[in-house]
Amino acid sequence: MGNRIESGLLKSGLGKRIALLIGAGLIAGPLIAQNAPSPTPSPTGTAGMVQAVPQAIPLPQLNPAQAASLVTLLSEARYAHGLVHNASTATDPSSNDALVRAALDYAHAVHAGRLDTEDFQSDWGLRPADYDPLPAFADAVKRDRLQQWIRSLPPPYSGYDGLKSGLDTYRRIEAAGGWKALAAGPDLTLGASGPRVLALRQRLAVEDNQVIDKGDKFDAELVEGVKRAQRRYGLNPTGTFAAQTRAALNVPAGDRVRQIMANMERWRWLPQELPRNRIQVNIAAAVLTVFEGDSPVASMRVVTGAPGGRETPMLQSRIHSIVLNPPWNVPAGIAAKELFPKGADYLARNGYKVIGTGANRRLQQQAGPQSALGRYKFDFDNPYAVYLHDTPAQAKFASYDRLASHGCVRLEKPAALARLLLRNDPNWQADQIQATVDGGKTVRVPLRAEDQVQVYLLYWSAYMGSNGMNFRNDPYSWDKILATRIERRSAIKANSAS
């Protein structure tokens, strides 16, 4: 046991809080980093080398005022940042070291997430950087700046702040009883009336203060309310209340709270500072956004990977080149399962070339109007062999369900993106790009070092938009998987601490 806080704090029933926090997975027991050795520099300029002697980092000692303040700060912060679903009713930790470890555990959870390395799926390529909260915490104790330290920990992004605000809203909705499930029945549209219309009004009004929650007439005002809801849920804004809209509206408020919490967790995996110029793809919403000076300057629809084994991975990389008129080297699995069975005539008609023989044979689709990659391919290093590319199949961009690729990201406006990335290269202005594309020859255009841009493939199934909280239906079930793994990790930590 570490040194105890003065007897006045001992009388506050602190041990119960530790037990409850451990049971909730909020205290992991001693963090490895808290007692990790600190290398001591070896002297130089001597005849021999002196081996570094590990130095233990002691846990800071809190004074009574700091301890009391920290208990309150941690309780409020854990709830506000979605580390627990419900407000804690636990009592206070019993010892200085227990309280410090609770603070360090909270810091790691809200700053770098709650998963260990082995908890990440292979296609969750975004991983938080190593983080040891102890040095900054010790400095905050020394300078009596614990409140400022607590405030500095969460991700410093407006996207995270928007989710935090949405979390507060949907918790209040859940606490007030949520909403009633809407009954199945015929589609409702302009001119309909009856009890189901009233129920729809009441349901929409919970999230949308523009909707009047009285009346059983499906009028023009209600049509617009349905359209707003459909946009928030990523559905085709027809204004007609049908099965897909009913399913989205019937997800319980508590599930939406958990969905927001899962998305807040993924924000913690990002670096603490994103490049001001970058490309972001929201996999779940199938939208690409270009940022310059940290502000969005362009966006387009995209097609991302289909669920069930063809998911687009989460990752970060850097676009280093653009291939004009790219051939498609077909992945072996796609060739074996989808293309070779169609026969030689199909392959020939669609521009495929068989390279090699026997077990080593592979397929390449030649560059041209039939190529699955279209006229543009944007390359960035990654272990998943995915990239951004054009496509001759344009119909899918008109759909509101655009998860249909084999994992790569198909672009609605690839030519515009190529012109944007090459605009500062005098050798590759718009006319030269178009002439090369029209010529049909495959050309790789390296981006100049200063024009290479970071690309982030992210999975946001909940995010704050200009129209309020937006939700998608967790197409890959990654929200559910993440929640399960957090709970399992919490249980492991609780067992190790007991």
Residues assigned a catalytic role: 389, 408
Q: Count Cβ atoms below 10 Å from residue 185 Cβ, excluding itself.
A: 12
Contact 240, 187 (CB under 8 A): yes
228 vs 226: CA distance, rounded Å = 5
Q: Dihedral through CA 151, CA 157, CA 159, CA 165, nearest 10?
A: 20
**What gap in Å lies between CA 445 and CA 449, rounded to an integer?**
12
